[in-house]
A = this chain, B = another copy of it.
Amino acid sequence: MNDQLDHQQIDFDKMQGLLPAIVQDAASGEVLMLGFMNREAYEQTLQAGYVTFFSRTRSQLWTKGETSGNRLELVSAATDCDRDTVLLQVRVLGEGVVCHLGTRSCFTQSLPFRAEAERSLP
The 8 tightest CB contacts between A and B, nearest first, are A49-B115, A29-B29, A1-B110, A80-B106, A46-B113, A77-B111, A78-B107, A87-B107
**CB of A41, distance to nearest CB on chain B (Å):** 13
Report if A86-B110 is in contact (Cβ < 8 Å); known contacts: A80-B33, A81-B99, A81-B101.
no
User: With contacts A34-B22, A87-B31 known, is A110 near B47, CB below 8 A?
Assistant: no
CB distance from A18 to the nearest CB of B (A): 9
Would you list 27 pairs from A and B whose C-beta atoms are within 8 A, ordered by A residue? A1-B109, A2-B109, A3-B108, A3-B109, A4-B109, A4-B110, A5-B111, A20-B20, A22-B31, A28-B29, A31-B31, A31-B87, A33-B80, A34-B85, A46-B112, A46-B114, A47-B113, A48-B115, A77-B110, A78-B107, A78-B109, A79-B109, A79-B111, A80-B99, A80-B107, A80-B109, A81-B109
